[in-house]
Chain A
Amino acid sequence: MPSPRSLRRQNPITLVLAGILCIGFFIFIFSSNDATAASSGQAAGRTSSSVLSPPSMPFRKSRANELHSAPPVEHYFMNNVTQSRNPAENKEKVLILTPLARFYQAYWDNLNKIAYPHDLISLGFIIPKTKEGNQAYADLQKQVTKTQSGPKAKRFASITILRQDTENPLMSQNEAERHKMEHQKARRGAMAKARNSLLFTTLGPTTSWVLWLDADIVEFPPTLIQDLADYDAPIVAPNCFQRYYNNEKKAMDVRPYDYNNWIDSSTAKEMAAKMGKDDILLEGYVEMPTYRTLMAMMHDPSADPGTKIKLDGVGGAALLVKADVHRDGAMFPPFPFYHLIETEGFAKMAKRLNWDSYGLPNYLVYHYNE
């Protein structure tokens, strides 16, 4: 029998060494990196010990055989929740909120590429209970599972996925139908309710920034959070464009997409003054010329990319908001608020609470082209 003989002949020291190596190998391969995980975890905030905790935090499942213990008394020092120009350095938590009607892989890929430390990022999604929503839910779930079991540095701190309780008044979400003027009030009202539901259930006590990012924004710079935070504005919106194939130029080109970022005009104010209490002003419709200054039209590729302008109405495509603005009560009005609704009304409500909105005409994010 060769193997026993060979073992017998083996130097015992070699065996011991091999054993030690084996154990060492085992430990290294199976243990996660304690040191780095612990330090980053502590810096980013704690993990909760109970399922009863803010959704913006991960929590530890209790083992089945563990004794039931009372939920702890948690202290949150909200004086320490800062919003600075260097959010990553100050370990400020960012909550990315997305009302999701359709899932685009490009959106998720970009999200994964975000250069902000992922253990400081929480994601929140709200998905309507429609056939389309179910599909988006399934797609999202697949990707979430993949990312959260993938490499540690790419995992997000926590992800909350909500199913919407309010009905969407329009079953069809196709572009043309969606943008019809008479449907706008109902559609955007429902949208506002979805946004509010998402916001107020996920904000929690530790979030510093809220980044609103629509699911159909399929291209944005990985440094989006840092770039926008650097302006130190309570509310800041980049310009939302769309890539398309320009038949005239026979080449890919960009065109403005989101018209909800604007500076108010006297015409619009006059129109508003004449309106009934429940009427709303809309932007981007020929039937309703408001002559507002649109940020979408102010884009100038040759100008300073850091230009910042003050806005009176904002769109929700991409929007970085200091959490304090929302905490003070600024929400997306689902009813006509000064004849404005949803994100535009949000800018107005923030204004009433003494928070200003800003726009970046030369900083672009791109909308999906249907």
Chain B
Amino acid sequence: MQAPLRLHLSAALKDDSSWTHDANCHCHCRFQPRSQPALRRRRQLIQRLLLFGSILLTGFFFFFPDLRPDLGSGPLSYLASTDDSKLETVRYYDLSNVQGTARGWEREERILLCAPLRDAAPHLPMFFGHLKNLTYPHNLIDLAFLVGDSKDNTLELLNSKLEALQADPEARNQFGEISILEKDFGQKVNQDVESRHGFAAQAGRRKSMAQARNWLLSAALRPTHSWVYWRDVDVETAPFTILEDLMRHNKDVIVPNVWRPLPDWLGGEQPYDLNSWQESETALALADTLDEDAVIVEGYAEYATWRPHLAYLRDPYGDPDMEMEIDGVGGVSILAKAKVFRQGVHFPAFSFEKHAETEGFGKMAKRMKFSVVGLPHYTIWHLYEPSVDDIRHMEEMEKERKAKEAEEAAKQQKEDKIKEQFDNKGSDWEKEKAAVQDLVQKAKNEEKEEAKKREEDKKAKEAAKEEPKEEAEAEKAKEEKAQEAAKEELKVEAKADKAKVEKAQEAAKKDTADAKKHVEKREEIHEAWGVDERGKAVPKQPEVPDSA
């Protein structure tokens, strides 16, 4: 590059000197045209030299593109055909700016929301509903998903949902960085409810879950994140303000209580996440007896740890801000300061102090002296997925219901038939009085109902007389049931139902005081039976005589 430049320079100088000479001669040597051809000849030489030099330089830069002069980011850079200068390769961060504070939304602290997914397509619409409803500024939330070993259309659905999310014209509804990480670990563990929660599969399953979580986090955590929020996609109900609510406590790791709703026949609700607990002496002693790779899993009879669980401490009317120190955490909804993960706490995919995954995470966070806290009275609700047992039970119930319906239909038919037989006589008469049919029929119907009422009243009175006898019978039935509850269940239930039907009819008809008392007593007995049916059995029984 130097050589041709110097050539140019000398050429230019020569040129210059010739010009001054020319300029000097211009006025004085007007009658000496001979100098012109010489100059012209020299100019041609200069031109050739210039031409040669530029060709040389062009060729040189063509073959050595790296040596082209850099124009920097000044106005000249707009001449460049690529916006190479716009390429930013150096980033500076100060980690003390991303420590996480109690009022992160005011300080524009970024949250990384992580969700590991596998065959989660059915839950995605619900999950995105939750996402849209979050009150934390969306542009401060970065989303990261790890999709692995999915056999359904999780990936496609996720992608289309996310694209739709970002296509929102309102800038404040758009989220920050969105990453979908695709990685198959080739796990052999099934994701269906039964195999997922079976005891034997737990250790292996939790280790591979931990691996997935670590991959997700290590790929998605940035120096800009102040918080990391882990959220399962199958959360059914959670407050929109959950991020702020948890953040406000300003703890290093914090989890809410996780319950799940149940069908009425199972009691209406149930603690779901049993992985949030406080360490107990029993468990520590147990841990010492186990070998290095063993993993204690909570919520299984095989390991009785007697730990206080966050889930069981819930009081629906308790203070939602109450905190409880815990050692193991559940993974349904964890809010942690990003510094916890930055400094190395992760989800052990090996047995760390006899725990793995989220429980091991809690243990490790504690080991590194971070605060780990649970909120016993702040509850979010996990989706209820019936287990195989539940499904079986539900099928049975469905069968029973159908049998009952069929029975009732048969009864109805019989009644109808009887009615028809009664009506036959009247119908002849009806035919003859077709003109006033409507009026007559109405009157007749009323009559019929009254007749029925009277008949039933009579029956009820009879029943009232039989009351003591029946109570004894009920007592006896109870004893029988205690002996062979399972066998009797169906029968008892049928009986109870019959009683219920009778009761309903009677109550509607406003019976005498005697009858009413009798009905009440019966109801109580029935309820006691109901409790028995759920398998809680004996201890409830003494209540019946008391209240009676």
Measuring CB to CB, which residues of chain A are less than 8 angstroms from any residue of chain B? 2, 6, 9, 14, 18, 21-22, 24-34, 36-37, 47, 50-55, 58-61, 63, 68, 70-79, 129, 144-145, 148-149, 151-153, 155-166, 192-193, 196-197, 199-205, 326-329, 331-335, 349, 352-353
Smallest distance from the beta carbon of B46 to chain A beta carbons, Å?
A: 11
| Contact among A18, A61, A155 for B86, CB-based, below 8 A | A61
**Given A76-B219, A200-B217: A160 and B178 interface contact (C-beta under 8 Å):** no
* Chain A residues in 8 Å Cβ range of B62: 28
Question: 3 smallest A-B Cβ distances: which pairs?
Answer: A33-B65, A52-B177, A165-B95
Are B341 and A72 in contact, with the CB atoms below 8 A? no
Q: Which residue of B is nearest A207, CB measured?
A: B219
Contact with A along B174-212 (1 / 0, CB 8 A): 111111111110000000000000000000000000110
Taken together as a complex, chains A and B put the C-alpha atoms of A6 and B42 apart, in Å, by 13
Are A32 and B65 in contact, with the CB atoms below 8 A? yes
Contact with A along B72-113 (1 / 0, CB 8 A): 100010011111101111111111101100000000000000
Are B89 and A28 in contact, with the CB atoms below 8 A? no
**Segment among B318-326, B342-350, B460-468 that sits at the interface with chain A:** B342-350
* Chain B residues in 8 Å Cβ range of A163: 93-96
Q: Which residue of A is nearest B171, CB measured?
A: A68
**Given A30-B80, A78-B219, A151-B66: A205 and B179 interface contact (C-beta under 8 Å):** yes
A-B contact count (CB 8 A): 231
Taken together as a complex, chains A and B put the C-alpha atoms of A37 and B85 apart, in Å, by 13
Taken together as a complex, chains A and B put the C-alpha atoms of A33 and B111 apart, in Å, by 40
- B367 CB-CB contact with A under 8 Å: yes
Are B178 and A74 in contact, with the CB atoms below 8 A? yes
Are B87 and A71 in contact, with the CB atoms below 8 A? no
Which of B150-169 touch A at CB < 8 Å?
A: 159, 162-163, 166-168
Are B95 and A197 in contact, with the CB atoms below 8 A? yes
Beyond A36-B65, A70-B167, A78-B183, list 16 extra A-B contacts (CB 8 Å).
A22-B54, A25-B54, A27-B81, A31-B80, A32-B81, A53-B177, A60-B87, A63-B86, A151-B67, A156-B89, A164-B95, A199-B218, A201-B93, A327-B214, A327-B218, A331-B346
Taken together as a complex, chains A and B put the C-alpha atoms of A69 and B341 apart, in Å, by 30
Taken together as a complex, chains A and B put the C-alpha atoms of A68 and B23 apart, in Å, by 60
| Contact among B71, B79, B82, B162 for A37, CB-based, below 8 A | B82
Taken together as a complex, chains A and B put the C-alpha atoms of A280 and B181 apart, in Å, by 38
Are B88 and A25 in contact, with the CB atoms below 8 A? no
- B125 CB-CB contact with A under 8 Å: no
Taken together as a complex, chains A and B put the C-alpha atoms of A367 and B395 apart, in Å, by 73
- B240 CB-CB contact with A under 8 Å: no
29 A-B pairs with CB atoms under 8 Å apart are A18-B51, A22-B54, A25-B57, A28-B62, A31-B81, A32-B81, A52-B224, A54-B222, A58-B89, A59-B87, A61-B88, A63-B86, A70-B166, A75-B179, A79-B183, A160-B90, A160-B93, A160-B223, A161-B93, A164-B96, A199-B218, A200-B218, A201-B223, A328-B215, A328-B349, A329-B347, A331-B344, A334-B344, A352-B350
Smallest distance from the beta carbon of B294 to chain A beta carbons, Å?
A: 13
Q: Which residue of B is nearest A153, CB measured?
A: B66
Interface SS of chain A: helix, strand, loop or mixed?
mixed
Are B95 and A72 in contact, with the CB atoms below 8 A? no
* Chain A residues in 8 Å Cβ range of B515: none
Taken together as a complex, chains A and B put the C-alpha atoms of A43 and B391 apart, in Å, by 53
- B298 CB-CB contact with A under 8 Å: no
- B306 CB-CB contact with A under 8 Å: no
* Chain B residues in 8 Å Cβ range of A326: 218
Are A34 and B81 in contact, with the CB atoms below 8 A? yes
Number of interface residues of B (CB under 8 A): 86
Taken together as a complex, chains A and B put the C-alpha atoms of A365 and B515 apart, in Å, by 99
Taken together as a complex, chains A and B put the C-alpha atoms of A244 and B76 apart, in Å, by 50
- B55 CB-CB contact with A under 8 Å: yes
* Chain A residues in 8 Å Cβ range of B214: 327-329
Taken together as a complex, chains A and B put the C-alpha atoms of A202 and B220 apart, in Å, by 9
Q: Which residue of A is nearest B70, CB measured?
A: A149
* Chain B residues in 8 Å Cβ range of A352: 350-351
**Given A329-B211, A352-B350: A71 and B175 interface contact (C-beta under 8 Å):** yes
Max count, chain A CB within 10 A of own CB: residue among B92, B96, B142, B341: B92
- B33 CB-CB contact with A under 8 Å: no
Which of B1-56 touch A at CB < 8 Å?
A: 19, 22-23, 26, 40, 43, 47, 51, 54-55
Are A50 and B210 in contact, with the CB atoms below 8 A? no
Q: Which residue of B is nearest A148, CB measured?
A: B89
Q: Which residue of B is nearest A155, CB measured?
A: B89
| Contact among A71, A149, A349 for B178, CB-based, below 8 A | A71
* Chain A residues in 8 Å Cβ range of B86: 60-61, 63
Are A21 and B19 in contact, with the CB atoms below 8 A? no
Taken together as a complex, chains A and B put the C-alpha atoms of A352 and B368 apart, in Å, by 19
- B542 CB-CB contact with A under 8 Å: no
Are B91 and A55 in contact, with the CB atoms below 8 A? yes
Are A162 and B95 in contact, with the CB atoms below 8 A? yes
Taken together as a complex, chains A and B put the C-alpha atoms of A29 and B220 apart, in Å, by 40
**Given A21-B54, A160-B91: A329 and B96 interface contact (C-beta under 8 Å):** no
* Chain A residues in 8 Å Cβ range of B344: 192-193, 196, 200, 331-334
* Chain A residues in 8 Å Cβ range of B183: 78-79
Smallest distance from the beta carbon of A80 to chain B beta carbons, Å?
A: 9
- B114 CB-CB contact with A under 8 Å: no
Are A353 and B87 in contact, with the CB atoms below 8 A? no
Taken together as a complex, chains A and B put the C-alpha atoms of A75 and B214 apart, in Å, by 18
Are B350 and A353 in contact, with the CB atoms below 8 A? yes
Are B211 and A335 in contact, with the CB atoms below 8 A? no
* Chain A residues in 8 Å Cβ range of B211: 328-329
Q: Which residue of A is nearest B146, CB measured?
A: A78
Smallest distance from the beta carbon of B506 to chain A beta carbons, Å?
A: 64
* Chain B residues in 8 Å Cβ range of A30: 68, 71, 76, 79-81
* Chain A residues in 8 Å Cβ range of B349: 328-329, 353
Are A58 and B84 in contact, with the CB atoms below 8 A? no
Are B222 and A76 in contact, with the CB atoms below 8 A? no
- B135 CB-CB contact with A under 8 Å: no
Q: Which residue of A is nearest B225, CB measured?
A: A201
Are A335 and B54 in contact, with the CB atoms below 8 A? no
Are A75 and B89 in contact, with the CB atoms below 8 A? no
